[in-house]
Amino acid sequence: MSYLAVEDLSISFGGIRAVDDVSFAVEEGEVFAIIGPNGAGKTTLFNLVSGIYSPDGGSVRFAGRDITSLPAHRIAPLGLARTFQNIELFEHATVLQNLLIGRHVHRRSTALSHLLFLPAVRREELEHRRRVEDVIDLLELAHYREQRIANLPYGVRKVVEVGRALCLEPKLLLLDEPTSGLNPEESEDMGFWIEDINRDLGVTVVMVAHDMGLVSRVAGRVLALNEGRVIAEGSAAEVQKNPAVVDAYLGAD
Amino acid sequence: MRFLFKTHYNQDIDHLKHGGDRFWYGLLLVLAAAAPAALGTFYLGELNLVMIYAIAGVGLMLLVGYTGQVSLGHAAFLAIGAYTHSLLLGAGLPFLLSIVAAVLVSALVGAGVGWIALRMTGIYLAIATLAFAMLTEQTISRAEWLTGGFRGLAVPQASLFGMPLTQGWQHYYVTLTLLVVTLLAALNILRSSTGRAMVAIRDSEISAESVGINLAVYKTLAFALSAGITGLAGALFAHRLGYLSPDAFTFLISLQLLLMVVVGGVGSMRGVIYGALFIGFLPQLLAIARDTLPPQIAQAPGLEPGIFGLILVLVILFEPQGIFGRWLKIKSYFQLFPLYRRATHRRQKTYLRTERLR
Q: What is the CATH number of the domain that holds B157?
A: 1.10.3470
Does A130 contact B9 at a Cβ distance shorter than 8 Å? yes
A129 contacts on B by Cβ (under 8 Å): 9, 12-13
> Which chain B residues have a beta carbon less than 8 Å from that of A74?
212
Residue at B7 is within a domain: no
Q: Do B185 and A91 touch (CB under 8 A)?
A: no
Q: How far is CA A108 from the centre of its chain?
A: 25
In this complex, which of A90, A111, A129 lies closest to B207 when CB atoms are compared?
A: A90
pTM of the predicted protein model: 0.90
Query: From A114, which residue of chain B is nearest by alpha-carbon distance?
Result: B189
The CB density around residue A241, as the number of other CB atoms within 10 Å, is 12
Query: Does A116 touch chain B if contact means CB atoms closer than 8 Å?
Result: yes
Contacts of A252 (CB under 8 A, 6+ apart): none
Residue with the larger pLDDT of the pair A180 and B185: B185
Handedness of CA A116, A117, A121, A125 (dihedral sign): positive
Strands A172-176 and A204-208: parallel
In order along its 358 residues, chain B shows pLDDT tens digits of 677 788 888 888 888 888 888 999 999 999 999 888 888 888 899 999 999 999 999 999 999 999 999 899 999 999 999 999 999 998 888 999 999 999 999 999 999 999 998 888 888 999 999 999 999 999 998 888 888 878 888 888 887 887 787 788 889 999 999 999 999 999 999 999 999 999 999 999 999 999 999 999 999 999 999 999 999 999 999 999 988 988 889 888 898 899 899 988 888 899 999 999 988 888 888 888 888 888 777 777 777 778 878 888 888 888 888 888 888 888 888 887 777 776 666 655 554 444 444 4
CB contacts, 8 Å: B118 with chain A: none
Number of domains in chain B: 1
Q: Is residue B75 part of a domain?
A: yes
The domain in which residue B218 lies consists of 38-345
The answer to whether position B358 is within a domain reads no
Largest pairwise CA distance in chain A: 69
Among chain B residues, the shortest Cα distance to A181 is held by: B352
> Which residue has better confidence, A4 or B39?
A4
CB B246 within 8 A of CB B141: yes
Residue A178 binned pLDDT confidence (cut-offs 50, 70, 90)? very high
Cβ within 8 Å of residue A89, ≥6 positions away: A98, A149, A157, A160, A161, A164, B203, B204, B207
Determine the pLDDT at residue B345: 65
User: Chain A interface, mutation test: which of B204, B207, B344, most A Cβ atoms within 10 Å?
Assistant: B207
What is the spatial distance between Cα B65 and Cα B78, in angstroms, rounded to a whole number?
A: 19
**Most distant pair of Cα atoms in chain B: their distance:** 67
* Alpha helix ranges (H) inside chain A: 42-49, 72-75, 95-101, 111-116, 119-139, 154-167, 184-199, 212-218, 236-241, 243-250
Cis preceding linkage at B295, omega within 30: no
Q: How close is the nearest chain B Cα to the Cα of A241, in Å?
A: 32
Residue A101, classed as helix, strand or coil, is helix
Asked if the structure places residue B351 within a domain, the reply is no
Cβ contacts of A102 on chain B, cutoff 8 Å: 211
Q: What is the pLDDT of residue B250?
A: 87
Residue B8 lies in a domain: no
- What SS3 class is residue A61? strand
What ipTM does the predicted assembly reach?
A: 0.91
Domain A1-79+170-253 has CATH 3.90.105.10: no
Tally of CA atoms within 13 A in the half-sphere of A200 that contains its CB: 10
Residue B192 is nearest to which of A84, A91, A125, comparing CB atoms?
Answer: A125
User: In chain A, what residues touch B352 (CB-CB under 8 Å)?
Assistant: 86-87, 154, 181
> Are the C-beta atoms of A9 and A23 separated by less than 8 Å?
yes
Residue A13, chain B, CB below 8 Å: the answer is no
The answer as to whether B296 is a domain residue is: yes
What are the residue ranges spanned by the domains of chain A? 1-79+170-253, 90-168
Which of A104, A128, A151 lies at the smallest CB-CB distance from B348? Answer: A151
B165 within a domain of the structure (yes/no) = yes
- The larger pLDDT score, comparing residue B324 to residue A4, is at A4
User: What residues contact B53, with CB distance under 8 A and at least 6 apart?
Assistant: B233, B256, B257, B260, B275, B276, B279, B280
Say if CB A149 and CB A157 are below 8 A apart: yes
Q: Is the dihedral of CA A39, A45, A51, A53 positive or negative?
A: positive
* Chain B residues touching residue A153 (CB < 8 angstroms): none
* Per-residue pLDDT tens digits for B241-287: 988 988 889 888 898 899 899 988 888 899 999 999 988 888 888 88
Q: Does some domain include residue B30?
A: no
pLDDT of residue B344: 63
